């Protein structure tokens, strides 16, 4: 039921969302989140790297966990890999459900796990130099809101204590 994609080329979140919404006419609501590269933040470029054997299978497992937890009519997860410019979309998560609470919660859950427990590595270029980015303390804290059976590859309690 979940549609999960690892995109290596730019995608159009508006077109994807319109298509997804049209495909789920029985859903009473669709909640979506689009993440994009911040402009005007002295970031010249953002690069996302992935590891083929783990990244897409992990995204599918995450989507399945969300679909098992909330009554969804549909779930769409698209995440970019590669080099991105300011303003370009990084991620789109859309959840369609009969009632809004499930859609809000599922989209929120998937985003929290994409930020700090999915197989992506992110670096940004500032003043011509690349810097690797690790999740912030609040990214790990956000995760703590969900109790799941998903294996969390990185010990969030340990990471938080180092903040």
Partner 1 sequence: MAGLVFLGRLGDLAGAAEIAMPMARTTALAVVMDRLPPALIAGLRSPKVRVAVNGELVPAEQPLDALMIADADEIAFLPPVSGG
Instruction: Give residues in contact with partner 1 (CB under 8 A).
Output: 35, 48-49, 51-54, 79, 90-91, 111, 114-123, 132-135, 151, 153-155, 158-159
Q: What is the closest distance, in whole angstroms, from the C-beta atom of residue 59 to partner 1 in the complex? A: 9
CA dihedral 140, 143, 147, 153 (to 10 degrees): -60
Q: What is the closest distance, in whole angstroms, from the C-beta atom of residue 99 to partner 1 in the complex? A: 26
Q: What is the closest distance, in whole angstroms, from the C-beta atom of residue 97 to partner 1 in the complex? A: 21
CA dihedral 145, 110, 58, 77 (to 10 degrees): 180
Q: What is the closest distance, in whole angstroms, from the C-beta atom of residue 35 to partner 1 in the complex? A: 5
User: Which residues face 35 on adjacent strands?
Assistant: 91
Q: What is the closest distance, in whole angstroms, from the C-beta atom of residue 42 to partner 1 in the complex? A: 19
Tokens of 11: 């995608």
**Based on CB atoms, which residue is closest to partner 1, 147 or 158?**
158
**Based on CB atoms, which residue is closest to partner 1, 68 or 133?**
133
Q: Taking the CA of residue 45 as centre, how many other CA atoms within 13 Å lie in the half-sphere pointing to its CB? A: 10
If you search the block for the tokens 């130099």, which residue do you land on?
Answer: 129
**Based on CB atoms, which residue is closest to partner 1, 9 or 151?**
151
**Based on CB atoms, which residue is closest to partner 1, 12 or 155?**
155
Kindly report the number of other CB atoms within 10 A of residue 33's CB atom: 16
**Based on CB atoms, which residue is closest to partner 1, 27 or 91?**
91
Q: Are 28 and 100 in contact (CB under 8 A)?
A: yes
């Amino acid at each position: 039921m979940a549609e999960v994609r690892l995109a290596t080329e730019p995608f159009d979140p508006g077109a994807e969302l319109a298509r997804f919404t049209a495909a789920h006419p029985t859903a009473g609501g669709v909640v979506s989140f689009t993440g994009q590269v911040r402009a005007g933040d002295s970031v010249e470029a953002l690069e996302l790297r992935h590891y083929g054997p783990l990244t897409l299978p992990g995204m599918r497992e995450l989507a399945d966990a969300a679909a098992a937890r909330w009554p969804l009519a549909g779930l769409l997860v698209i995440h970019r890999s590669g080099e991105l410019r300011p303003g370009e979309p990084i991620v789109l998560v859309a959840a369609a459900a009969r009632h809004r609470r499930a859609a809000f919660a599922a989209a929120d859950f998937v985003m929290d796990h994409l930020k700090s427990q999915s197989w992506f590595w992110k670096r940004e270029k500032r003043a011509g130099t690349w810097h690797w980015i690790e999740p912030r303390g609040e990214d790990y804290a956000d995760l703590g809101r969900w109790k799941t059976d998903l294996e969390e590859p990185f010990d969030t309690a340990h990471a938080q204590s180092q903040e």
